[in-house]
Structure 1
Amino acid sequence: MAFQNILVEQKERIACITLNRETKMNALNQATLAELNEAFTQAFTNENIGGIIITGTGSKAFVAGGDISEFAALDEHAASEMARDAHNKVFNLIENGNKPVVAAVNGFALGGGLELAMACHIRVASSNAKLGLPEVTLGLIPGYGGTQRLTRLVGKGRALEMMMTADMITAEEAYRYGLINHVVSADELLPKAEEILQKILLRAPLAVAAVITAANAASRQDVNGFETEILEFGKCFATTDMKEGVSAFLEKRKPAFKGL
């Protein structure tokens, strides 16, 4: 599909997906969510892509939230279906993807924007970033996984305070909370995200995917995370990359992983 609301560029083995609605503070409308589904699905299945960065156009906002103008016409059933559809097609898709996704948070990451960042595996923020879940100021709560992922990342007490007060926090506060992995200047934001991915790309791709699967299992109630780890560990022994990694270690050379 031809994208109208996002930009997708590939630099070597890294795909960069950029929210491109700067006049709307990169707000997530339904059309943008559909494009994100398509872009991430393509990136996860493209053998030439090893990792993904998601960011927003301009310096003011990563994503300032959902597009509130679309909410007015929704009733209870329609709102629930909208949230469920977004969970499955975008937020859970990203979190459960087989390749690492780094959020490069430039400016405001509010509501659905913070929820999008939290669905990613790693978060880097510019020093001017502001983060929050202000939905209660609209008589709402987060609907794209915010109540769950924020609680897992920063703990119940901090998460409840952020969501019930609707207060924004700075990038430095988010770093102290464990919500952000790194805080850098605006000029260093994308280079830092690329640096992280370039390091990951040196590792065995199937093992990286297995790490994502096992780590995600830690917060699921329907599976045993330890058993998931055991099974993923065992699966690694059926890969060519594992044999290459062990041989390289024993031969004191750098491994040449092929994702096989």
Structure 2
Amino acid sequence: MDYENILTEEQDGILHITINRHTKLNALNKATIKELHEAFSEAKEDHDVKVIILTGSGEKAFVAGADISEFADFTPEEGRELAAEGQASLFDFVANFPKPVIAAVNGFALGGGLELAMAAHFRIASDNAKMGLPEVSLGVIPGYGGTQRLPQLVGKGRAMEMIMTAGMIDANQALQYNLVNHVTSLDELPELALELAQKIMKNSLVAISGAIRSINANYQDGVNGFEVEISEFGHAFGTEDFKEGTSAFLNKRKADFPGE
């Protein structure tokens, strides 16, 4: 499918999704959110896609925020609808995506941009990256999951400080806060993302989907993550990947997972 605001390229099982509004520092507008949802929906059904790498175009920004001009005149009800629709169609959709999603943060990740990066399963960053949730400086709060995911990643106190001050942290501080897993140079960021994706693809993607569901369950109100883990663990025993993985281990050979 042809898109106006994003680029997609699939190679050897890895789908690269690039937000391509570099003149706007890749700011998220409604059209871009819709296109990202469509790209992820297609990837979900495409058996050739095993891992997704999400990044921004250019050298300045992953996503510098939401397009404020689109909602500056919204009513309270329109604001609630904006947050609910965005979370359902993109941010929660990515967080619960059954295939691994790596966010390669190449520059500014602010507001909705940081919220999108936090929705990915984990993040890596270039050393020029800067991250923050500046919404309170506009008289609003993060509305795409920021008040929920940031405390999960960095802890309540640090999240409170970041949100209340509306300040930015650099890549090394983000690494110290456990907001990102790795920091590298801007030039080496795509290669690091690729290396991590290739490592993931050596394993059972069926099992990884179960692990994603189990990990996410721990953060759902009223859901017992241990029970979900037990269920997913048991389910794995009925998969072809389990048969292949155990057979390969016992026969001292490399596993060739069928993905079933």
TM-score, normalised relative to structure 1: 0.99
Partner of 1:98: 98
Does the alignment pair 1:118 with 2:123? Answer: no
Residue 227, structure 1, aligned to residue 240, structure 2 = no
Secondary structure of the corresponding residue to residue 192 of structure 1: helix
- Matching of residue 4 in structure 1 with residue 4 in structure 2: yes
Is residue 2:54 matched to residue 1:58?
no
| Corresponding position of 2:179 | 179
Matched, 1:77 2:77: yes
Partner of 1:150: 150
Given the alignment of the two structures, is residue 25 of structure 1 paired with residue 5 of structure 2, yes or no? Answer: no
**Once the two structures are aligned, what percentage of the paired residues are identical?**
57
Task: Give the drift of 1:240.
Answer: 0.8
Aligned mates of 1:129, 1:30 — CA distance in 2: 24
What are the within-5 Å matches in structure 2 for residues 207-222 of structure 1? 207-222=207-222
1:33 aligns to what SS in structure 2?
helix
Instruction: Find the aligned partners of 1:182 and 1:18 in 2 and give their Cα distance.
Output: 20
TM-score (norm 2): 0.99
The structure 1 segments of at least 4 consecutive aligned residues displaced by more than 6 Å after TM superposition are: none
SS at match of 2:109: strand
- Residue 122 (structure 1) shift: 1.3
SS of match in other structure, 1:187: coil
1:218 CA displacement: 1.0
Letter in 2 for 1:202: K
1:45 aligns with 2:83: no
Deviation of 1:221 (Å)? 1.1
Which secondary structure does the structure 1 equivalent of 2:219 belong to? coil
Shift of 1:238: 0.5
Q: Which runs of 5+ in 1 are unaligned?
A: none
Q: Which amino acid aligns with 1:129?
A: A
What's 2:249 paired with? Answer: 249
Amino acid at match of 1:102: I
> Structure 1 residue 139 and structure 2 residue 131: aligned?
no
Q: Distance in 2 between matches of 1:220 and 1:64?
A: 28
Secondary structure of 1:162's aligned partner: helix
CA deviation vs aligned residue, 1:86-128 (integer Å, no higher than 9, x gap):
1011001111011000000011000000000000001010000
TM-superposed deviation, 1:12: 1.1
Query: SS of the residue aligned with 2:140?
Result: coil
CA deviation digits over 1:174-196, x for unaligned, max 9? Answer: 00000000000001101111111
- Distance in 2 (CA, whole Å) between partners of 1:252 and 1:2 is 45
Deviation at 1:31, TM superposition (A): 0.4
- In the alignment, the residues of structure 2 paired with residue 258 and residue 73 of structure 1 have an alpha-carbon distance, to the nearest angstrom, of 51
Deviations 1:149-195 (A, max 9, x none): 00000000000000000110000000000000000000110111111
RMSD: 0.7
Q: Distance in 2 between matches of 1:117 and 1:225?
A: 23
SS in 2 for 1:54: strand
Letter in 2 for 1:11: Q
- Letter aligned with residue 23 of structure 1: T
Unpaired segments ≥5 residues, structure 2:
none
Q: CA deviation at 1:45?
A: 1.2
SS in 2 for 1:131: strand
For residue 164 of structure 2, what is the amino acid of its counterpart? M
Secondary structure of the corresponding residue to residue 3 of structure 2: coil
SS in 2 for 1:186: coil
